[in-house]
């Protein structure tokens, strides 16, 4: 059974940093692209970032480019999102999602349950 | 960036109704389009990928069609489990975008 478990969410002040992690099990982690998607309270889905299966290619939404960094450790089956210079508008539930293929350009067929990030003073 | 526009934003329907949701892309995305279902408080679930391919385990009452800039998701006979919000997503470029969502409510 595929499981994606996010952690690291919480309350942080504007301008602060937070690191999210996603632990994957039940899959050959190194064979799939992984992404982060967020959802602000009561709002729709917003793609944040994607990383290829090898980790060699990474892409970001304009809204987080230069502030967020995605990375993965294929030996530990983990995906991370380092979030710096956080803003109130980054407040959201952050989902980790598995790509259907190794390519960074594939839809997400499994999702974690999400971790809430709240940016507030 | 490619913009995705869904219509309608919400709809009311009864069990057994045929429901169609439309998604338009601001430029051609070939068939690189997915549909997701999200129930309240839950993670999204992939229904359709590559515009018309049914994800494994998804009931056959769900179908997708279209290419280029116009796409549709059809639920042939709405069931109680189908009351949820539906999102389209383009993955043509390395800057994915979602539609704003369509909430399907009980009439």
Question: Can you spell out the DSSP letters for A26-61?
Answer: SS-GGGS-EEEEEE-TTS-EEEEEEE-TTS--EEE-
Quote the pLDDT of residue A25.
97
Choose the mutation target among B94, B98, B101, B103 for the interface with A, i.e. most A CBs under 10 Å: B94
Q: pLDDT digit string (tens) for A10-50?
A: 999 999 999 999 999 999 999 999 999 999 999 999 999 99
CB atoms within 10 A of CB B4: 22
Task: Give A43: exposed, middle or buried? Use CB within 10 Å, 0-12, 13-18, 19+.
Answer: exposed
- Which token pair is B18? 């045929």
DSSP B60: T
Quote the pLDDT of residue A98.
97
pLDDT > 90? residue A105: no
**CB proximity A100 to B under 8 Å:** yes
Q: pLDDT digit string (tens) for B53-100?
A: 999 999 999 999 999 999 999 999 999 999 999 999 999 877 899 999
Asked if the Cβ–Cβ distance from A107 to B49 is below 8 Å, we say: yes
Cross-chain CB nearest to B44 (options A45, A61, A105): A45
Cβ–Cβ < 8 Å for B56, B65: no
Q: What is d(CA A25, CA A5) in angstroms, rounded to the nearest whole number?
A: 9
Chain B positions touching chain A (beta carbons under 8 Å): 1, 32, 34, 36, 38, 42-46, 49, 55, 87, 89, 91-101
Cβ–Cβ < 8 Å for B64, B76: no
Closest residue on chain B to A62 (Cα): B95
Q: Return the bridge partners of B23, or none.
A: B6, B71
Q: Return the bridge partners of B87, or none.
A: B36
Task: Give B94: exposed, middle or buried? Use CB within 10 Å, 0-12, 13-18, 19+.
Answer: middle
Q: What is d(CA B60, CA B20) in angstroms, rounded to the nearest whole number?
A: 15
């Amino acid at each position: 059974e595929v499981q994606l478990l996010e952690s690291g969410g919480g309350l942080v002040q504007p301008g602060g940093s937070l690191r999210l992690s996603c632990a994957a099990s039940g899959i050959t982690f190194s064979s799939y692209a992984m992404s982060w998607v967020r959802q602000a309270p009561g709002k729709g889905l917003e793609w944040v970032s994607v990383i290829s299966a090898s980790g060699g290619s990474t892409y970001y939404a304009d809204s987080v480019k230069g502030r967020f960094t995605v990375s993965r450790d294929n030996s530990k089956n983990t995906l991370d999102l380092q979030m710096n210079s956080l803003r109130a508008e980054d407040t959201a539930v952050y989902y980790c999602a598995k790509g259907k293929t190794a390519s960074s350009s594939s839809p997400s067929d499994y999702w974690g349950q999400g971790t809430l990030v709240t940016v507030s003073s | 960036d490619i913009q995705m526009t869904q219509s309608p934003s919400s709809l009311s329907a009864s069990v057994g109704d045929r429901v169609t949701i439309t998604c338009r892309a601001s430029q051609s995305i070939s068939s690189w389009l997915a549909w997701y279902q999200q129930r309240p408080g839950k993670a999204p679930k992939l229904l359709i990928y590559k515009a018309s391919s049914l994800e494994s385990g998804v009931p056959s009452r769900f179908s997708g069609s279209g290419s280029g800039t116009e796409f549709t998701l059809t639920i042939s006979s709405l069931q109680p489990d189908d009351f949820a919000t539906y999102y389209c997503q383009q993955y043509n470029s390395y800057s994915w975008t979602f539609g704003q969502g369509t909430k399907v409510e009980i009439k």
